[in-house]
Structure 1
Amino acid sequence: MAQKSMVQRVLVHLKTSSSGSPPRLGSFSECLLESLAPSGGQDRQISVKCYLQNNRVILEAAESSEATSAKLKHLDVCPMKMMDQSEKDQLPSEIISRGINVGVVALLESSDHHVLITRRAAHMRTFPGVWVPPGGGIDWDETLIQAGLRELLEETGLSIESEIRRNHVLCLWESVYPPILALGEPKRHHLVIYYHIQVASSKLELSRRVRLDPDEVDACAWLNQPQVDLVVNGHQGDDELLPRDMPKTFELTIIENGVHKTQEWPVEVLTAKAPKSGTDIERISSGTRYALEQWLLLFNQTMISKI
């Protein structure tokens, strides 16, 4: 993913007035949820409309019943929510000037209902070793779906445009790095748009075509519905057991000396939570966990409708 200049970055703009005022540029240090819904929303999430216009991603509050709305959520301890104004004023000018960047993530679902996640390479500046779907920034004059498909191709080698059955914005996540203040002052602030893309090819067919980019990711895995359910509803702890019929490992593909190989990996990675202090661990990102929760709701609704 090429580094974009300050002039060509697609940033978040907020439409917070019903008076017809134009959307305003979001400030790096403001909390998106509190700006759009001062009450904080229900369960730390709100319904929003999100669209790309003139190389600006525009967010505005919406009713949950609106067909074009999607859920936006963040951590309860989101740094932009927890910091007071004096702390925000002390952030370095080079950080404050960054605005709120946008990332588009491709949550790819195979025809046999597996979803693809990738592990960020250990040398990445943010969230190294954390599991997320393929994704990244929007290039100038791209659409949201074009950005998601390009990032998917760059990171995994998968070109799927001709196979798409369905695509839509699944949900959004407000991401700050580091994710909690105990790990340091904020350095990155993103709106992450999770784009659900369902294709006609099976997991096996897609797996054969995967070619990971080691500059971005060092492993990938396809999660089935029970594994996604474990991600969403499982917990890590000595006194809590995995479901009796749940395998103790899951299969991933890694790059070793330039060669793609399959390997079994501890299933506990799927339930690991971010530490409250110290060094981060291998885990599924909080935003990805939320997106998989939304995918699971959609999957269950689809299965019920077929009965």
Structure 2
Amino acid sequence: MITFTENKSSTINTYNNTNNNNNNNNNTTTKKKLLKNILILLFLFSLINLILLKKINFNFKNNQQYHKKYYHNNINNKNDNDNNNDNNDIDSNSFVKKKIIDSFDYSSFSNSNSLIDNNMEGIKKVFWPSVYFKKQGDVLPIEWNKCTLTKLGIDTNSKSIGYAHIELDSENGKLILSPTSQNYDKDIYSYSRDNSYESDVNKIKKKLDQKVIIAHAKSCPFHELEISNSIIHKDLQIEKQLYPPVKVGVGVLVEDSDNQRILITKRAETLRIFPGVWVLPGGHMEQSETIFETGLRELEEEVGIDKSMVDLDSLKVIGIFESSYPILLAHDKLPGDHHIVIFISVKLNNNNGNNNEKSPVNLKLQEEEVQIGAWVSKSLMVKIMDGISTEYDLFNNLKGDNTNNNNNDIKRQTHLKKNKEESIEVVYPINSKNEQEKLRGDQVMDMFFKGTDNIAIGTIYILKQYLNSDD
């Protein structure tokens, strides 16, 4: 009996010990699971916090592939649309603001004002010259996200136009802007010929160095960005450590030999920025070019007017424009393109070999970039410009406008009068096939007056200044 009792007690003790061990193991497992869950929750909380603070971006794009797509064949292939788009991104802000697109993502560009991308399997894109700001002897690169007019000391809260001193240092690849007197200067419209084009390009190239009129759009996104209190805009600028360059373009105002008509062109609908907008011919500067060389090259490429058709002595700089695209500042994006556009003017000579009395020269439009060309009489252009973008009016009336009636509606109602001196001659690319869709001059005129076709604000600005000149 004693033996039996001892065995029974031993069995009970063993059972109790096993139970205790199981309970301890269960408690340990529960604690481990709880700790694991806590760690997972902490990780998820941290991840969500980083996403909300925009420290993690799940829309990562491989820089090399991204650049290869953007710059595909953009060198030495003038027929490539991407290259054509970049070569013509020089005008700004359409009169009728209906062609707004999302800004371009330049997240992998260099902070330098000259852009050289060497990570593209031998493809290299260079924007030249770099844009600099000079004040009190210091010459520093202009920041891409800063308003140029504000930098020059112009009161951009109340004005969209002013004066600047411009200098092109070709040897060092610098376009230098500096502040100058903002006092009203009527003499600026005389446009000194000290910087006229050298007929022999092998001669020493004269350096641009003069006072000019400068302007930007009333809704300039870079000015709006500077005064914005948006946390999103501030965060985007902090995150965007690498900025694209401020690019330099040249626009050319061409006048016929009789001083009666001005050439404007309508951009192709396929271009990346300002598609279908009326502008002056032009494009980006290329390395070591003078401003006039760029203008003459672009003129020949886009509309077929070569150097032999123009009066080289008539070349002069008539103004500059700070251009931006998109034309408005989005609430959640930075602007995409920032340009300094230098406008020059030139007159045709009488040796163009064209016997057509309607058109002063046989245009050959580059279809990839230009869908329509139009010779517009100066007297008609005065009426088109009158009453729009009045922030650029430095005079009560444009030159040539002898009417004292300020009722623009009356002027616009009478614009279709059969007047030989007020006409538009329309030109299309040689290979244009849509004959039924081709517009007549009077139809184009009607669209201008009704505001149903876009004229770039930079073009409006420079036309207003040119129509006020004494030449």
- Quickly name the TM-score band, shorter chain normalised: 0.7 to 0.9
The farther-off stretch of 44-53 and 60-69 is: 60-69
Q: Secondary structure at the match of 1:175?
A: strand
In 2, Cα distance between equivalents of 1:292 and 1:126: 21
Q: CA deviation at 1:186?
A: 1.2
Instruction: Indicate conservation of the 8 Å contact 2:323/2:340, yes or no.
Output: yes
Partner residue in 1 for 2:317 = 169
What is the root-mean-square deviation in Å for CA atoms of aligned residues?
A: 3.2
Equivalent residue for 1:46, pick from 147, 162, 168: 162
CA deviation after TM superposition for structure 1 residue 121, in Å: 0.2
Kept in 2, the 8 Å contact 1:11–1:99? The answer is no
2:72 corresponds to 1:72: no
Q: Which protein has the bigger helix share?
A: 2
Query: What is the CA distance between 1:58 and its match in structure 2?
Result: 1.2
Q: In structure 2, what is the Cα distance between the partners aligned to 1:29 and 1:216?
A: 28
Paired letter, 2:366: D
Change (3 A) 1:96 1:290: farther
Per-residue CA distance 1:248-279 (angstroms, 9 max, x = gap): 77331123744798833332432466xxxxxx
Structure 2 residue runs of 5 or longer lacking an equivalent are 1-77, 88-113, 117-125, 193-209, 390-407, 418-422
Q: Give the C-alpha shift of residue 210 in structure 1.
A: 0.8
In the alignment, which residue of structure 2 is the partner of 1:255?
Answer: 429
Distance in structure 2 (CA, Å) of the matches to 1:93 and 1:211? 46
Give the Å deviation of 1:62: 1.9
Answer yes or no: is 1:145 the counterpart of 2:292.
yes
Change (3 A) 1:38 1:131: closer
CA pair 147-93 structure 1, distance change in 2 beyond 3 A = farther
Aligned residues: 289
Return the index of the structure with the highest Cα Rg.
2
Q: 2:41: which partner in 1?
A: none
Per-residue CA distance 1:86-113 (angstroms, 9 max, x = gap): 5155159779521211110111111122
Counterpart code for 2:376: L
Find the partner of 1:109 among 227, 237, 255: 255
- Answering whether residue 455 of structure 2 is matched by residue 284 of structure 1, we say yes
CA contact (8 A) 2:364 2:430 kept: no
SS at match of 1:212: coil
Cα distance, 1:181–1:34 mapped onto 2, change above 3 Å: same
Normalising to structure 2: TM-score of the pair?
0.55
The residue that corresponds to 2:107 in the other structure is none
Equivalent residue, structure 2, for 1:276? none
For 1:13, the aligned partner's letter is V
**Equivalences for residues 137-286 of structure 1 within 5 A:** 137-161=284-308, 163-164=310-311, 165-181=313-329, 185-201=334-350, 207-234=360-387, 240-243=409-412, 245-247=414-416, 250-255=424-429, 257-258=431-432, 263-264=440-441, 265-271=443-449, 282-286=453-457
What amino acid maps onto 1:247 in structure 2? Answer: L
TM-score (norm 1): 0.82
- The match for 1:28 is 144
CA 1:272–1:73: 2 relative to 1, 3 Å:
farther
| 1:201-242 deviations in Å (ceiling 9; x for gaps) | 389576442100011111100111122112320459xx9244
* Distance in 2 (alpha carbons) for counterparts of 1:216 and 1:95: 33
Flag structure 1 segments of 5+ consecutive residues without an equivalent: 274-280, 303-307
Residue 104 of structure 1 contacts residue 148 of structure 1 at CA under 8 Å; is this kept in 2?
Answer: yes
Taking the aligned partners of 1:147 and 1:167, their CA distance within structure 2 comes to 12
Greater strand content: 1
